[in-house]
Structure 1
């Protein structure tokens, strides 16, 4: 499939154009991508970005037969030595002949240069960027559960803006599960943004608002090439190398080297987001190897920002990502489409410029929670918690590694029930977050097959009643609430609890009275933060008894009553239900329930995708 992006003033003719469907898109899941994923992703990008300077029809240079080309002084075009290749590719896709310029060649001596072969094709009119989409199982698809990958192919001659790129979807990783659609959509947007400008290979080609290159050029029109990185070398007007003082275990501080993007809008947005006026810019990812390192925002600092290097949960495209695209010099950004990013918001310079150990230690000294990090080892049974935004059940991803972590990432002086000589093996499960542990959304798998995830606002995540151990309700009005203790399921002569507990998803509403929590057919008013709600409800011939902990009304609702407007706290209590008043004879149901417990617990996996 070939699609075009017209990312300027929007008229009906500028909308998504499907030029042709290639045989590369075959499976049902890839058809889903063609029909839904790409149209929605491209609609967002066309609304989010407009091109500053539009050129004529998109025409691509032909590749050279020898993969070597020449440049003439004051001529932006590339010339092949002797001959152009018979076929020009953009990633794995063969570029149609009518998208190509006439071949430009130079003699072996380089003295005689000119056009050769068929004339220019008509190109792609009315568009700013051509995206070639494929669905091929490539070698790269087999690496670390990659869902998709993308890159730019060619730049326009005058301002170096990408005019063509490709996106390959790995067929085995494309899901038709409705609750996974938003995650896949985010992945497609993420990959196209790489091709449009957020790429280490493009940083050296960024321009200022006047259209001048931010990185000096040679007479050839190209910046210097960094052989060790395999990239054109950017200037310090784009990225600077910064050394941080970095706390690790044992009261030791080491030097932590990072690359910081320092273009003006990114600096402004980063300082505002973290509330740190001395912040030099926004850190780029320093781990993950080729393709991840330098090509994404630092995961430790912007955990669920969509342009970090792994998909852990609830991706959002924040003002920072819109800012870097605008600072490329190629686009204007529509900041009204930026999504709210809560991770790190307003936490100050100590959070953004220090190690997570420093932050957690300081929070403990102040008797505060170590949020957004965590310090509970992921073990069985699970201690469930809530994601930072309270929209998903989560678990702390602190775990033991088979080998000691690098000294730079050894953060813990003590962990309950862990011997001192084992502490250096513990860190967060997401390595590119500098091994800092944080609470993470997860998925349930049964016999290796995906069942559902822990995001509260997707109705499809509602557990079957025989697995709904905490009387939870998933849906568009639900949030994650903490449980004081494990819920107890009772019949007249039987009791059972589920070993994994600590939080669950429950329907809530906001009103002039404040925050109301709904469990089955009963409602409970939260009067203050930390208030305990004694829950007793009947469902499917079981009585569920448990205690929920109220969040602050302001954590969930936009408008909350003032303190003097709140009712007495005892208005939220309810009378317990007698389990012996229900129908007897449900031993079979309990047996089926117990049969389903084991595979569910054994199949609980914490997933993160690249």
Structure 2
């Protein structure tokens, strides 16, 4: 179990009934709240009527000054529970490419922990696009994250490790003291800070203000992941509507994290998300459920705080990889230790905003309208990204090296790169082009594909063996490149690969 309730109430939780006139009165003699006219019969959580078993008692004044109990207390919500209402309704919030939305509708009055919420799925979007089971699961987990407290609404309600509010409260209402221009509660600067980032594109260099999470566990997890000891905040999404901006981690920086606004083929529960849940003060967190997360790992402070363009320039000046970004349209290369991806760049009808223009050389696209080119996702700030693929060599192969089903699928085609997939597979980078030979011809595979999946085994002598269609290539510790010449039945593959770092894959060697 990832989460359990940290501060469990000694009694069941009852949702207060409302008065029709939206005002409670307190009786001076009986010290109970009552309605001057009528108690509301029903209370809604978005589209769903909250069952009466979860609602509190309600008294109503009579014309003679006496009180009548119109409704009795229900059995209540168990103190360590969460009630989630799920609907499937097309409404005006189901706009654009939105699959679903969710949030909480009731909080624990003592701790502010969300105890009741809703999740609505948008029928039109599901009917327009084929959604595989893993994407369904991603969507549902993401929305449950919002319902449990990942949203701008909840930041001002978070508690510290002792259970005290992180944000100053109004002593009269016990609610956060300050609101913004949209009437939303404002979180304290110990939770959210506005931070100025330098933003460089190919044609401009401007300051950019971002909202960043600065709670202790979140900062610690992010500093460790990016290997950036001076990281001053976990930036929140700055693009999209109010439902997206501020309520997600910045997609450009956090990639395939579950709580970014641009969900990937596989989105992950990361230490960042678990750290956030810990910093709410509402949950005991089992950090062992964090999934292996490679996006952005050890890429440093420039990656975590600057633009994709500046990061690419910095890495190029060092002669180093600038993954997860790219600059060769439709090229395929390793996007992590265990996956490859395609460089996603497209042409837009109009020039992108100058802060999102990352190309200046018309020869890159053989097109003078170079400012119209950018990555395919606005949540990624139009950065050109290596994106997960769902086909390879015209076969339905997901570009995840660990997906064993890919081996079966690739067996139905030529498998010219002699790939193998499974739990022990990694992405191997190519150095230059590969050549595929048959009895009748030799085919230069070109440089558009510079990464492929292969299983490996640690040999115990500071070397590893890499599998190419049942045959092995051995890389020793310290080798940078390796010539390969693999024969499989009537075909042959020749070329050069980059040897992976043996000490990282086989640390006990």
TM norm. shorter chain > 0.5: yes
Q: Is the 8 A contact 2:99 2:122 kept in 1?
A: yes
1:515 aligned partner: 464
Residues of 1 paired with 2:269 and 2:360: CA distance?
36
1:86 CA displacement:
3.6
Residues of 1 paired with 2:396 and 2:124: CA distance?
17
SS at match of 2:304: helix
SS at match of 1:444: coil
1:377 aligned partner: 329
1:264 aligned partner: 216
Q: 1:83-102 alignment to 2 at 5 Å?
A: 83-102=38-57
Of stretches 287-296 and 366-375 in structure 1, the one that deviates more from structure 2 is 366-375
1:127 CA displacement:
3.1
1:347–1:460 CA distance, 2 compared to 1 (3 A): closer
SS at match of 1:321: helix
1:505 aligned partner: 453
SS at match of 1:465: coil
Q: Is the 8 A contact 2:104 2:116 kept in 1?
A: yes
Q: Is the 8 A contact 2:429 2:450 kept in 1?
A: yes
1:26-84 Cα offsets, whole Å, 9 max, x none, are xxxxxxxxxxxxxxxxxxxx434442343422433346657x45598xxxx99878445
Which blocks of at least 5 consecutive residues in structure 1 are unaligned?
1-45, 562-610
Decide which of 364, 369, 374 is 1:417's aligned counterpart. Answer: 364
- TM (normalized to structure 2)? 0.84
Q: Is the 8 A contact 2:360 2:371 kept in 1?
A: no
Decide which of 458, 483, 502 is 1:532's aligned counterpart. Answer: 483
Decide which of 135, 138, 142 is 1:190's aligned counterpart. Answer: 142
Residues of 2 paired with 1:269 and 1:457: CA distance?
25
Residues of 2 paired with 1:441 and 1:464: CA distance?
21
Residues of 2 paired with 1:86 and 1:295: CA distance?
33
Q: 1:574-585 alignment to 2 at 5 Å?
A: none
Decide which of 341, 357, 371 is 1:394's aligned counterpart. Answer: 341
1:312–1:197 CA distance, 2 compared to 1 (3 A): same
Residues of 2 paired with 1:468 and 1:78: CA distance?
73
Decide which of 104, 112, 129 is 1:160's aligned counterpart. Answer: 112
Q: Is the 8 A contact 2:270 2:292 kept in 1?
A: yes
Residues of 1 paired with 2:42 and 2:264: CA distance?
39
1:367 CA displacement:
1.9
1:556–1:311 CA distance, 2 compared to 1 (3 A): farther
1:441 CA displacement:
0.7
Residues of 2 paired with 1:375 and 1:339: CA distance?
29
1:244–1:420 CA distance, 2 compared to 1 (3 A): farther
Q: Is the 8 A contact 1:526 1:550 kept in 2?
A: no
1:481 and 2:433 equivalent? no
Residues of 2 paired with 1:240 and 1:549: CA distance?
46
1:316 and 2:268 equivalent? yes
1:354-397 Cα offsets, whole Å, 9 max, x none, are 2222221122222222223222223xxxx211122x32221112
Decide which of 542, 545, 558 is 2:506's aligned counterpart. Answer: 558
1:298 CA displacement:
1.0
2:493 aligned partner: 545
Q: Is the 8 A contact 1:473 1:507 kept in 2?
A: yes
Residues of 2 paired with 1:167 and 1:352: CA distance?
31
Q: Is the 8 A contact 1:58 1:130 kept in 2?
A: no
Q: Is the 8 A contact 1:391 1:480 kept in 2?
A: yes
1:544-583 Cα offsets, whole Å, 9 max, x none, are 434351431438623365xxxxxxxxxxxxxxxxxxxxxx
1:507–1:271 CA distance, 2 compared to 1 (3 A): closer
1:509 CA displacement:
2.2
Q: Is the 8 A contact 1:102 1:115 kept in 2?
A: no
1:285 and 2:243 equivalent? no
Of stretches 317-326 and 477-486 in structure 1, the one that deviates more from structure 2 is 477-486
1:146 CA displacement:
3.7
Of stretches 290-299 and 266-275 in structure 1, the one that deviates more from structure 2 is 266-275
Residues of 2 paired with 1:501 and 1:58: CA distance?
58
Residues of 1 paired with 2:316 and 2:52: CA distance?
64
The Cα RMSD (Å) is 3.6
Residues of 1 paired with 2:167 and 2:471: CA distance?
64
SS at match of 1:242: strand
1:87-120 Cα offsets, whole Å, 9 max, x none, are 333233332222222246789xxxx998852211
Residues of 1 paired with 2:420 and 2:144: CA distance?
35
1:296 CA displacement:
0.9
How many residues in Structure 1 have an aligned counterpart in Structure 2? 493
Which blocks of at least 5 consecutive residues in structure 2 are unaligned?
27-31
